[in-house]
Chains A and B, each alone.
Chain A
Amino acid sequence: MIEPLHSRATTALSLSATTLLCRWVVRQAAAQETWFLDALYRLQTSADEHTLHLFLGQVPRRLGKADLELTPQDLTAAHSLLPGWSPLDWSLDGAARIAGLLAFPGQRPFAALFEDLVRTADARELITLYRGLSFYPEAASLSAPVGAGLRSNTRAVFEAIAHGNPYPRDHFDLHRWNHMVLKALFIGSRLSPIVGIDQRHNPELARILLDYAEERWAAGRGVTPELWRCVGPCVDALGAYAALQRALAGSPAERLAAGLALSQTDTPSARHLLTSVPETAALIGTGRIGWSNLHHYEAI
């Protein structure tokens, strides 16, 4: 289990994130730069939540909703600030809203403020609010509203937490982590954008996923090849060879996924299964196939 970040470290993280987000927003704000900077100043010096509500409502009207334009250097800076953070899908208004929220000192605990914002958020705001989770003060205290976001029926809201977001890796307990991965599979969401998917593998998750695969097969349905990524490290302990053998007879992507899982398992049974699929084994042997590009082989 990864240690939760210390609250003081989180505060430093908040400040650095605010600086980075402001730089990106200002660069793209054009004629609205002065408005944005004035508004940030008002937020920093205000205790009135009405100021924050007004700011959050005005941001898309003022700045527009374009994609955030990021250079490779920006992405490196994001990764250095917090490994795994990917702002690639962020929008200009989203970045500005989070910068404003981080700048606002508020008079009550952040978790209370955050829950209130989530309660009345429109769809786009919800996605934005959850994307910023890692940078909020007292990030570990946001368990309840994060739970609500994970339960959302709106896939993009769930993915705002699950994808490109280091928060689950850094703050989820085992149960919540495992159920996030399982829900991702249920709703047809990809696993590879989940930050820390390999670091946080665990035998309990592997067992749940193996059960899930067998339940799907029993119903005459397929499973996503990505599932085998989380089963892989526990193939031997779970005695999952029969299931892997079945996957090796599936679609090209399933064969590759099962092959990848087996190639990470250094046992006679795994080696034996791999020799039964020489073409798949050879392709994996080239080193060009990995969990992050597996979906490209779906259509072969």
Chain B
Amino acid sequence: MYIDPHAHMVSRTTDDYEAMAAAGVVALIEPAFWVGQPRTFVGTYVDYLSSLVGWERFRAGQFGIRHYCTIGLNSKEANNEALAEGVMAWLPRFAMKEGVVAIGEIGYDEQTPLEEKYFRAQLALAKELALPVMVHTPHRDKKRGTSRSMDVCEEMGLDPSWVVIDHNNEETVRETLDRGYWAGFSIYPSTKMGNARMVELLRHYGGDRIIIDSACDWGISDCLGVAKTARLALASGIDAQVVRQVTYANALCVYGKSGQMHESDWLDPPEIDQRTLYEGNSILRGGREPRIEHPRQAADDLLID
């Protein structure tokens, strides 16, 4: 049973949902992010946020996966000031929606003054609404950008135990943990973290406050990042308890602080929950097969009905 606490499902297919469910993913968190193409209207951003709390949640529910999300203005689009101002005015409304477990992913891309401005404004919002924060750390000048992100969180008066610093690597993890933050690792081929490296990190640091995610999105990425890393870690002799912490329990602990994510959501859902649109199987009641409306066509199946 896994949680993928960072997955951009708007960019993924139903095959991926099916594969994740089959691999044991019971819940995922979809952070608001940059969709590859910059948005140039406030309205398109608003509709994107609506899709995170509406349509995408329904899609996930069809495969028996509970869908949560984080709401935020990402660092790249914070650099379009007109857009950023407009989006900021809408954020408080979305932050109050059902299943919103954090403000995120926010932080730095190129570490510009505008990124800094909206990062701080959103940290203030998270504090005001008593929501956890998911911080995206930059790809370039990563080590300094990560330290600076934590400096700003502390300047804004956030409690590190409410903040996940994501996309860590071997160079950033020590400081992140030492300063009391949760350390997210994105198992993402080529650019972020590989899972063999991750296993070595688990061997060294153990499971406390470490969180593994796939960060799967529109790029070449793997929606099974969490499940595959768990299997590799177990096969490599990492303690099962540690694996459970980093692929399930830690994410639930920090994002559960929002009051919007409970283990009972997937362990003991209503029989058929038409209002929350979830068609999962009740594990506590013995487990039915997830009811998938449109089962996947196998790639080698010639017939399409």
Contact = CB atoms under 8 A, between A and B. Distances in A.
Interface of A: 53-54, 56-58, 60-61, 65, 89, 91, 94, 119-127, 153-154, 156, 159
A296 B286 CA distance: 25
Residue in A61, A91, A124, A125 whose Cβ sees the most chain B Cβ within 10 Å: A124
Given A122-B99, A123-B54, A156 B93 contact: no
Interface in B119-133: none
Interface stretch (B106-114, B162-170, B246-254, B273-281): B273-281
Given A53-B93, A60-B98, A119-B50, A124 B276 contact: yes
B96 A123 contact: no
Task: Give the interface residue-count category, chain B.
Answer: 20 to 34
Contact of B277 (A94, A125, A154): A154
Contacts of B275: 65, 89, 91, 94, 124, 127, 156
14 contacts: A53-B93, A53-B96, A57-B93, A57-B96, A61-B259, A94-B275, A119-B47, A120-B49, A120-B90, A122-B57, A123-B53, A123-B57, A124-B276, A156-B274
B34 interface: no
A60 B276 CA distance: 12
Contacts of A154: 54-55, 58, 277
A145 B277 CA distance: 21
Contacts of B277: 123, 154, 156
B46 interface: yes
Interface of B: 46-47, 49-50, 53-55, 57-58, 90, 93-94, 96-99, 259, 274-277
A54 B54 contact: no
Nearest to B95: A57
A174 to B, nearest CB: 29
Contacts of A125: 97-98
Given A153-B55, A154-B54, A154-B55, A120 B274 contact: no
B93 A120 contact: yes
Nearest to A117: B93
B184 to A, nearest CB: 25
